[in-house]
Structure 1
Amino acid sequence: MGSPKNTDNYPWGTLSLMQSQQPFIQDPPVADVPHQGPRRFLPGFVRRLSSSTQLELTSRQPTHFRSDFVGCMDLHANPQTVAEYLDQHPEWFVRCAAPIQAIPEGDSGYILSLGRYGSFGFEVEPKIGLNLLPQDEGIYRIETITLPDEAEQTYLVDFQAALQLVDTPEVASPQQGILTKVEWVLDLGVTLFFPRFIHRLPAQLIQRTGDRLLNQVVKKISTSLTAKVQDDFHQSHGIIPAK
């Protein structure tokens, strides 16, 4: 996967922008912080775009952006309790996603409206469909749902994530109590079909701006969602985490 290019530490864990397998331009690292996020289960559990899908997109003259992210969320309970909570996501996901609008889709899916983003006079109001799959041998996967009007959009999103529960008895203490870490990885690809005037700009400028914007969107959403899930879990189970 390569070494991290950009790392931001949050109170709830670590979010890292790691080097993609596909070349792209990135800003210099903002800090020299050792990588703390999980990597060991990324290759086997996150599926990348197939070559046939990439060929189909190429015929529409796309611009691709792709990055890998890792993170970790601490929940003060045993893994079984955390797993039961994650299995019951219809009871809390829409509430925790706010202010992002999340509309349930089927038994395990959601359509999220992410707001408005853009640069250089080109803006999109992206929506993404996510399917929260049932756990498989302790691994929770989240995959993209095809949107009904996807063929008419100026963008495509490929979201492949995996979550793993890690029991941490070695860090448990009377002060902290039992602690389970939810380690997650995300392989995120975005394809944009820019209007002609955008392609008059330098390709490196387009790539650098898109990569930076993608990083900002993921950090903003993951920070909010993770904090709300933590609060909701602890409050619903009557747990007061140690400071």
Structure 2
Amino acid sequence: MQCQWINNHPTDLSKINHTINPQLSQTNEENPVHFQTKFAGYMEMYSDVQSVGHYLNAHQGWFCHCAAPMKTKSLDNNGYVLTIGQFASFGYEVEPKLAVVLEQPKDGVYKMYSIPLPDEPSLGYEVDYQAVMRLTEIPTNLAGDGLVKAYRKQGLSQVPDVITRVEWQLEMDVAVQFPKFIYKLPLSLIQTTGDRLLSQIVRQISPGLTYKVQQDFHDKQSLPLPPKSSRHLERLGELQEKSA
């Protein structure tokens, strides 16, 4: 989801405990390489904040379905194991897997973060995923373009007075222990390629997850589906990188 979350009430992700194992570099001949990326995004839900919050809190009813085609497995009451898919670079292939926990909201803030994979041997990588999300109720006139059209398309003339804007921010740090032949390449090339690939993975997964969550919620509420313009995702720092 892109389950992720910020804007009017930013949360400092640096204060959230990370799960990367500090001993990883001491048990291998070569140090692992860390790849990082940060994103922010939002989606609009055509209902009040209480209804949206109730839906998101009951994630057992939507998370696995909306995360497809990723493979998912429930982990206790608030956790899931996700298998992201197969990715390759420099002739090295990996099928990333991570375990995440979705906390119940506290003071209106939702958190989702990675935990060590249970009963898994060393996979050669570790994923540190941290995300925060906030729900904000906004008047309909501040909604993105397409709300009125979506209602009329469904034969509804009366639009709601308020809708809910779901805002998120996510950070990922992936530490990869490569085979020895990879370390013969320049570290800068490995770093830039890995960072770019990690960002591409987020760009591939997040929009689809966001759309499916919107679709599932609005179908269950018999509400019009918000248009594409109601969803947004951007990589943080990208504008600065382009202007540098």
TM-score over 0.5 for the alignment?
A: yes
CA distance in 2, matches of 1:179, 1:187: 27
Residues 214, 225 of structure 2: 8 Å contact kept: no
Asked if 1:91 is matched to 2:61, the reply is yes
Deviation at 1:42, TM superposition (A): 3.1
Match of 1:130 in 2: 100
Residue identity (%): 38
Match of 1:228 in 2: 212
Match of 1:187 in 2: 171
Q: RCO higher in 1 or 2 (8 Å CA, sep ≥ 6)?
A: 2
Provide Cα deviations, 1:46-88, integer angstroms capped at 9, x if missing partner.
62538xx564233241100112111101111111000000111
Residues 160, 188 of structure 1: 8 Å contact kept: yes
Alignment map for 1:42-81 (pairs within 5 Å): 42-43=11-12, 47=16, 49=18, 55-59=22-26, 60=28, 61-81=31-51
TM-score computed with the length of structure 1 as normaliser: 0.78
Three-state SS of the structure 1 residue aligned to 2:12 is helix
Three-state SS of the structure 1 residue aligned to 2:169 is strand
Letter in 2 for 1:200: K
Seen in structure 2, the aligned counterparts of structure 1 residues 44 and 232 have a Cα distance that, compared at 3 Å, is: same
Deviation at 1:45, TM superposition (A): 7.8
CA distance in 2, matches of 1:48, 1:214: 21
Seen in structure 2, the aligned counterparts of structure 1 residues 55 and 101 have a Cα distance that, compared at 3 Å, is: closer
TM-score computed with the length of structure 2 as normaliser: 0.78
2:79 aligns with one of 96, 109, 112: 109
Residues 46, 160 of structure 1: 8 Å contact kept: no
Provide Cα deviations, 1:162-218, integer angstroms capped at 9, x if missing partner.
110011126368935332111001011100000110000011110111011000101
Letter in 1 for 2:167: E
CA distance in 2, matches of 1:225, 1:74: 14
Asked if 1:142 is matched to 2:112, the reply is yes
Residues 48, 187 of structure 1: 8 Å contact kept: no
Three-state SS of the structure 1 residue aligned to 2:7 is coil
**Structure 2 regions of 5+ residues with no counterpart?**
149-158, 228-244
Letter in 1 for 2:103: L
Number of aligned positions between the proteins: 207
Residues 215, 225 of structure 2: 8 Å contact kept: no
Letter in 1 for 2:58: Q
Seen in structure 2, the aligned counterparts of structure 1 residues 158 and 62 have a Cα distance that, compared at 3 Å, is: same
Three-state SS of the structure 2 residue aligned to 1:85 is helix
Letter in 2 for 1:187: E
Letter in 2 for 1:119: S
Letter in 1 for 2:12: P
Seen in structure 2, the aligned counterparts of structure 1 residues 219 and 44 have a Cα distance that, compared at 3 Å, is: closer
Residues 126, 175 of structure 2: 8 Å contact kept: yes
Residues 45, 162 of structure 1: 8 Å contact kept: no
Seen in structure 2, the aligned counterparts of structure 1 residues 242 and 136 have a Cα distance that, compared at 3 Å, is: closer
